[in-house]
C-alpha cells in the first residue's frame, strides 16, 4: 500500500486536463477519476474521437490512490470532522464531492477494503466484450467474495488496465570491480553489500522477498513455521542502510547506497536519465501490483464506462498506455523495438518470471499482524 502513497510527479506522462463535449439535452456522460500519470492524455483524446459528438467526458487526475480511496468513502458515508479537515487540502475532492464518478482507479491492494466497506459494486461484465479473452490470472485477481477475499465463484469487482512489480535497482558503477551483478534476491546477502542496501518500509514486501528466497510464497500464512526465516531476516538486516518507501532512489543516485528494492513505476521513469542505473526482475520471482477500474457503489453502470474499459483493452491502445506510462499491460505484449534499452528488462513480458511472481493477496488480520510484529522486531534489532 505504501507504493501508492508516493507522489507520481515523475511517473510517466501526466494527463491533467478535463475534456468536455458540447452540452445537450440527450448528452451521454462519462466521469472518471484516475491516478495521475496512469493514462496518457492522447489516449483519452483517441477515445473521444470514437464517440458521438454530444458525449460529455470528464477525466479528473489525482496524485495518490489514497485520495481516490477516501473519495469513495466520502461518496458512501456521511462526512466526519476528520474528513472535513483533510479534505480542505485536496481541492479536486472538494469540487467533485457532489458528483460520483462512473469509474475510479484503485490499486489491487485496496480492493479488499473497498469491498468490505461497500464502497464499490461488481462490474457488469456482460457489457465488457473483451472480458472473456482476458488472461485467467487477471480474472482470478478481481473475483472476490463479499469480504474482498479471492473466490473463484465470486463477483467481478474490477478491471485491470496496467501493472508492475517489485524490482532490484542498482548502481552499475559500484559493481564494476566485482565478477557478478545482482540478478536475484539471494544476491542481497552478499558480503560486499553490507550497509549498502535500502529496502521498502513494508512488512509484506521485505518478509515476502525472504520467503521467495527460501522457496516459499509471498502469501504464506504460517510464517512462524518457516525454518530459517527469522535468521535470514536478521542477516538481511545487517545489509540494510535504511528502510523507506518514498525516497529510496535519491541515495542510490548520490552513491550513499549501491542497491535498492523498489516498485517499477517509481524506478522506470529515471532509468533513461541515469545510465549508471540498472533494474532487474529477480529470477526467482517477485511481488506484483495492478491498477484497476472500479465502479463506485450505487452508480448506474452506463455504456460509456464499459466502452472505456473495452477501449483500454484494445491491443494497440493497451500498448500505447504501457509504453507511454512505462508500465506493463494485462492484455498485450511489447516487442523489444518499442522500448528504450534501459526499460527492456522490465517491460518485455517474460512468461517464466510472470509465472513465478505473485500478487500480495489479502491475508487474515492475525496473519498481517504477525508480519508487522516480526518486521518491527527485526528493524529494531542491533546491526
Q: For residue 105, what is its C-alpha cell?
A: 482507479
Cα distance from N-terminal residue to C-terminal residue, the chain: 27
User: Which whole number is the average pLDDT over 17-23?
Assistant: 45
Mean confidence (pLDDT) of the chain: 86
The residues that bridge with 242 in the sheet, in sequence order, are: 198
- Residue 44 contacts residue 57 (beta carbons within 8 Å): yes
Q: Distance between CA 234 and CA 212 in Å, rounded? A: 16
Q: Distance between CA 102 and CA 299 in Å, rounded? A: 7
Band of residue 337 on the pLDDT scale cut at 50, 70, 90: low
Given a cut of 60, whether residue 131 has pLDDT beyond it is yes
Q: Where are the beta strands (DSSP E) in the chain?
A: 29-35, 56-62, 103-107, 120-121, 143-144, 155-156, 159-171, 197-199, 240-243, 259-263, 277-280, 287-296, 358-359
DSSP letter at 317 equals H
Q: Which residue has the higher pLDDT, 91 or 262?
A: 262
User: Which whole number is the average pLDDT over 172-197?
Assistant: 96
Given a cut of 80, whether residue 215 has pLDDT beyond it is yes
Alpha-carbon radius of gyration of the chain: 21
Note the pLDDT tens digit of each residue in 49-89: 998 767 889 999 999 999 999 999 999 876 566 655 655 55
* pLDDT at residue 317, rounded to an integer: 93
* pLDDT at residue 345, rounded to an integer: 63
Percentage of the chain lying above the pLDDT 90 cut: 65
Band of residue 340 on the pLDDT scale cut at 50, 70, 90: low
Report the 10 Å Cβ neighbour count for 344. 13
Structural class in CATH, domain 2-163+289-344: alpha beta
CATH number of 166-287+359-379: 3.40.190.10
Which residues in the chain are classed under CATH 3.40.190.10?
2-163+289-344, 166-287+359-379
Dihedral class, residue 255 (left if φ above 0, else alpha if ψ from -120 to 50, else beta): left
Band of residue 128 on the pLDDT scale cut at 50, 70, 90: confident
* pLDDT at residue 130, rounded to an integer: 84
The residues, ordered by sequence, that sit 6+ positions from 253 with a Cβ below 8 Å of its Cβ are 270, 274, 277
Note the pLDDT tens digit of each residue in 235-252: 999 999 999 999 999 999
Report the 10 Å Cβ neighbour count for 142. 24
For the ranges 164-168, 185-189, 323-327, 330-334, the one whose mean pLDDT is highest: 185-189
Q: Distance between CA 248 and CA 375 in Å, rounded? A: 18
Amino acid at each position: 500500500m505504501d507504493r501508492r502513497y508516493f507522489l507520481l510527479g515523475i511517473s510517466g506522462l501526466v494527463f491533467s486536463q478535463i475534456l468536455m463535449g458540447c452540452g445537450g439535452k440527450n448528452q451521454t456522460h462519462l466521469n472518471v477519476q484516475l491516478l495521475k500519470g496512469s493514462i496518457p492524455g492522447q489516449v483519452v483524446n483517441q477515445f473521444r474521437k470514437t464517440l458521438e459528438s454530444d458525449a460529455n467526458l470528464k477525466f479528473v487526475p489525482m496524485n495518490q490512490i489514497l485520495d481516490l480511496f477516501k473519495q469513495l468513502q466520502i461518496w458512501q458515508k456521511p462526512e466526519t470532522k476528520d474528513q472535513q479537515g483533510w479534505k480542505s487540502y485536496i481541492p479536486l475532492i472538494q469540487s467533485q464531492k457532489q458528483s460520483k464518478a462512473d469509474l475510479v482507479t484503485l490499486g489491487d491492494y485496496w480492493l479488499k477494503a473497498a469491498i468490505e466497506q461497500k464502497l464499490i459494486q461488481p462490474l457488469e461484465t456482460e457489457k465488457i466484450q473483451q472480458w472473456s479473452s482476458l488472461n485467467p490470472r487477471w480474472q482470478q485477481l478481481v473475483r472476490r467474495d463479499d469480504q474482498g477475499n479471492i473466490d473463484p465463484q465470486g463477483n467481478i469487482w474490477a478491471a485491470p488496465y496496467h501493472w508492475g512489480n517489485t524490482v532490484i535497482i542498482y548502481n552499475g558503477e559500484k559493481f564494476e570491480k566485482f565478477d557478478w551483478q545482482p540478478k536475484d534476491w539471494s544476491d542481497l546477502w552478499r558480503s560486499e553489500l553490507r550497509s549498502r542496501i535500502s529496502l521498502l518500509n513494508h512488512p509484506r514486501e521485505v518478509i515476502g522477498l525472504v520467503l521467495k528466497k527460501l522457496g516459499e510464497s509471498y502469501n504464506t500464512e504460517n510464517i512462524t513455521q518457516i525454518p530459517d526465516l527469522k535468521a535470514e531476516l536478521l542477516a538481511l538486516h545487517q545489509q540494510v542502510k535504511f528502510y523507506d518507501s518514498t525516497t529510496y532512489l535519491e541515495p542510490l543516485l548520490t552513491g550513499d547506497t549501491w542497491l535498492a528494492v523498489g516498485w517499477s513505476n517509481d524506478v522506470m521513469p529515471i532509468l533513461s536519465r541515469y545510465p549508471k542505473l540498472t533494474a532487474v526482475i529477480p529470477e526467482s520471482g517477485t511481488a506484483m501490483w495492478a491498477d484497476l477500474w472500479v465502479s463506485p457503489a450505487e452508480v448506474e453502470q452506463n455504456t460509456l464506462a464499459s466502452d472505456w474499459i473495452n477501449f483500454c483493452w484494445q491491443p494497440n491502445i493497451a500498448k500505447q498506455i504501457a509504453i507511454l506510462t512505462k508500465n506493463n499491460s494485462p492484455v498485450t505484449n511489447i516487442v523489444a523495438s518499442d522500448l528504450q534499452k534501459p526499460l527492456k528488462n522490465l517491460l518485455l513480458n517474460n512468461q517464466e518470471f510472470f509465472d513465478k511472481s505473485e500478487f500480495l493477496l489479502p491475508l487474515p488480520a492475525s496473519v498481517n499482524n504477525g508480519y508487522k510484529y516480526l518486521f518491527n522486531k527485526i528493524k529494531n534489532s542491533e546491526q
